[in-house]
């Protein structure tokens, strides 16, 4: 294997590893918004936001709502 091919394979492997690490962190939530909304609704049931939030801090908002 030539030197350039070896460098290309190593660099390509690094890029593939970074892409594989970013998929569950960034791309999966973007493509499965409804699942994450459902989980957030279940997690926030029974929580009174006024009791949890410190004074002067904005109340929780929907993180999936477009701005």
**Which pLDDT tens digit goes with each residue over 32-64?**
989 988 998 898 888 887 777 777 777 777 777
Whether pLDDT at 20 is above 90: yes
pTM of the model: 0.50
Higher pLDDT, 12 or 1: 12
Residue 67: predicted pLDDT: 65
Look up tokens 């998929």; give the residue.
23
**Which of 10, 36, 40, 38 minimizes the C-alpha distance to 24?**
36
């Amino acid at each position: 294997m030539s030197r350039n091919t070896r460098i290309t394979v190593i660099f390509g492997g690094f890029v593939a590893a970074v892409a594989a690490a970013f998929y569950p962190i960034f791309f999966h939530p973007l493509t499965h918004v409804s699942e994450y909304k459902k989980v957030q609704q279940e997690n926030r049931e029974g929580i009174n936001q006024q009791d949890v939030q410190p004074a002067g801090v904005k109340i929780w908002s929907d993180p999936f709502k477009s701005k």
